[in-house]
C-alpha cells in the first residue's frame, strides 16, 4: 500500500554537462534588480541589500523543452540571468565561505508577467502570480565549476536580434554575497538554484518567438514560446 494518498509528482531535474545523473531541484530563489542599469530601468538607483523572490521547483523548463505562453497576461517579459546551483547549504553562511556551497552554474531566463507584476507592485501585493507561474524558468544544463564565479558576457536575443548584452561582472551583488545574504533568510540546501538578476533592456515576448541566451564560459539556453 502506498504511503501517500496519491503518488507524488517526480522531482524537477536539470541535466549536468558530462554527467548521466541530473541535478534535483529543491527550490528556486531569484534576486531582483541586481544590475545597476536594470535597476534604473525599473525605477531605482541604489545599493540596498539584495531582495529575493521565489519560483516553485517545477517552474523549471529543462533544455529541449519549450515554455507555454502563460494565461492572464498581455506583457510577458524575458530576463536573462546567470544561475547558481548549490551542492551544500547552511544558515548565516559567511561571504568568504559561500563559494564552498556552489556546485556549478547555468544559464536561465526569468520569465515575468510584467503587467501582473506592475499591478501587484502598485498595490503593495506579492509577486507570486507575476514570477512563479508554470514554465517560468527555462534553463540550460548545469556546468560544474571550481574557482571564482563567471565574470564574462551575458546576452540574449529574440528571433536573432540581440536584446540584452552586458557583463556578469556588472552585478551589484556578486555570487558570494548573494549566497550569503540568501542564507540569512533561509536555510540553504543542496539542490537550490539562485537566479542572480538580469541586465538592462528587458522586453516583451509573443507566441512563436525564438529566444537564445548565453553566459560566456557557462553555456547557452534556447527555446521557443509556444
Tell me whether residue 2 is in a domain. Answer: no
Q: Is 27 helix (H, G, I), strand (E, B) or coil?
A: strand
Q: What is the count of structural domains for the chain?
A: 1
- Write 164-168 long-range contacts (CB < 8 A, 24+): 164/78, 164/80, 164/198, 164/199, 164/200, 164/201, 164/202, 164/213, 165/199, 165/201, 166/35, 166/37, 166/199, 166/200, 168/82, 168/215, 168/216
Instruction: Count how many residues are written for the chain.
Output: 226
Alpha-carbon radius of gyration of the chain = 17
C-alpha cell at 27: 527550490
Q: What is the mean pLDDT of residues 184-203?
A: 97
What's 43's domain CATH number? 3.90.850.10
| Predicted confidence band of residue 47 (pLDDT cuts 50, 70, 90) | low
The pTM (predicted TM-score) of the whole model is 0.95
Tell me whether residue 166 is in a domain. Answer: yes
Say what the pLDDT of residue 51 is: 86
Q: Is the pLDDT of residue 44 over 80?
A: no
The average confidence (pLDDT) of the chain is 94
Tell me whether residue 1 is in a domain. Answer: no
Tell me whether residue 117 is in a domain. Answer: yes
Say what the pLDDT of residue 154 is: 98
| Predicted confidence band of residue 43 (pLDDT cuts 50, 70, 90) | low
Report d(CA 201, CA 79) in Å as an integer: 9
Tell me whether residue 26 is in a domain. Answer: yes
Tell me whether residue 156 is in a domain. Answer: yes
Say what the pLDDT of residue 146 is: 96
Report pLDDT digits (tens) over 52-71: 999 999 999 999 999 999 99
| Predicted confidence band of residue 36 (pLDDT cuts 50, 70, 90) | confident
User: If 0-12 CB within 10 Å is exposed, 13-18 middle and 19+ buried, where does residue 200 land?
Assistant: middle
Say what the pLDDT of residue 42 is: 57
Tracing cell 536580434 back to the chain, one arrives at: 161
Tell me whether residue 7 is in a domain. Answer: no
Domain that holds residue 167: 13-224
C-alpha cell at 46: 541604489
DSSP class of residue 153 equals E
Tell me whether residue 6 is in a domain. Answer: no
Amino acid at each position: 500500500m502506498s504511503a501517500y494518498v496519491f503518488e507524488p509528482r517526480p522531482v524537477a531535474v536539470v541535466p549536468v554537462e558530462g554527467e548521466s545523473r541530473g541535478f534535483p531541484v529543491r527550490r528556486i530563489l531569484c534576486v531582483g534588480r541586481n544590475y545597476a542599469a536594470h535597476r534604473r530601468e525599473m525605477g531605482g538607483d541604489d545599493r540596498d541589500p539584495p531582495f529575493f523572490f521565489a519560483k516553485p521547483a517545477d517552474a523549471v523548463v529543462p533544455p529541449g523543452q519549450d515554455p507555454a505562453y502563460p494565461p492572464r497576461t498581455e506583457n510577458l517579459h524575458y530576463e536573462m540571468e546567470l544561475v547558481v546551483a548549490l551542492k551544500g547549504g547552511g544558515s548565516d553562511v559567511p561571504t568568504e565561505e559561500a563559494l564552498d556551497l556552489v556546485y556549478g552554474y547555468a544559464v536561465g531566463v526569468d520569465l515575468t508577467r510584467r503587467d501582473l507584476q506592475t499591478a501587484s507592485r502598485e498595490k503593495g501585493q506579492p509577486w507570486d502570480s507575476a514570477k512563479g507561474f508554470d514554465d517560468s524558468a527555462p534553463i540550460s544544463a548545469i556546468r560544474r565549476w571550481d574557482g571564482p564565479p563567471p565574470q564574462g558576457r551575458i546576452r540574449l536575443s529574440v528571433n536573432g536580434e540581440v536584446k540584452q548584452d552586458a557583463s556578469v561582472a556588472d552585478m551589484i551583488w556578486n555570487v558570494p554575497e548573494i549566497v550569503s545574504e540568501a542564507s540569512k533568510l533561509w536555510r540553504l540546501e543542496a539542490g537550490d538554484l539562485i537566479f542572480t538578476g538580469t541586465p538592462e533592456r528587458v522586453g516583451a515576448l509573443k507566441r512563436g518567438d525564438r529566444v537564445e541566451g548565453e553566459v560566456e564560459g557557462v553555456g547557452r539556453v534556447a527555446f521557443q514560446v509556444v
